[in-house]
């Protein structure tokens, strides 16, 4: 299936990997949630808490397509070869998805403590940094 998808894309002139085009959306939303969460704690402002939750929601929407395209690129470019950085990325992607789901659910409560939410945003950011670093190592060595 992977080769079919890439074959069709190659025929129309698209020869790039799919994953990088989507990666920036959930990663950017994680960073946005972190900074809005920080602002919510510093300024004690519920509007920032709500905006951070919106960032998390958009990140959740795009994390599955990002993971799927990562899988396709791994199959296409690396022949599905298991190596440490791939395993690390898979683990971190699932941990990040779980953390985003958790903080989205926690943030649905109007009485959610912004400091508790911020701790989860920090964990999400750490996952995002690990994903970005390991992806960079895979591509650029």
- Give the pLDDT of residue 77: 86
Element (H, E) at 16: none
CB atoms within 10 A of CB 40: 23
d(CA 80, CA 83): 9
- Give the pLDDT of residue 8: 75
Tens of pLDDT along the chain (141 residues) come to 777 777 777 788 877 788 888 999 999 999 999 999 999 999 999 999 999 999 999 999 999 999 999 999 999 888 899 999 999 999 999 999 999 999 999 998 888 999 999 999 999 999 999 999 999 998 888
């Amino acid at each position: 299936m992977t080769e079919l998808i890439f074959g069709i894309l190659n025929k129309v002139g698209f020869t790039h990997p799919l994953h990088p085009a989507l990666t920036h959306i959930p990663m950017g939303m994680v960073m946005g949630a972190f900074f809005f969460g920080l602002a919510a704690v510093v300024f004690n402002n519920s509007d920032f808490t709500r905006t951070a939750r919106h960032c998390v929601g958009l990140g959740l929407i795009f994390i599955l397509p990002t993971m799927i395209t990562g899988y396709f690129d791994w199959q296409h470019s690396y022949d599905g070869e298991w190596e440490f950085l791939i395993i690390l990325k898979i683990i971190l992607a699932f941990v990040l998805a779980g953390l985003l789901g958790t903080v989205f659910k926690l943030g649905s409560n109007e009485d959610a403590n912004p400091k508790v939410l911020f701790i989860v945003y920090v964990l999400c950011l750490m996952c995002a940094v690990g994903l970005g670093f390991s992806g960079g190592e895979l591509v650029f060595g």
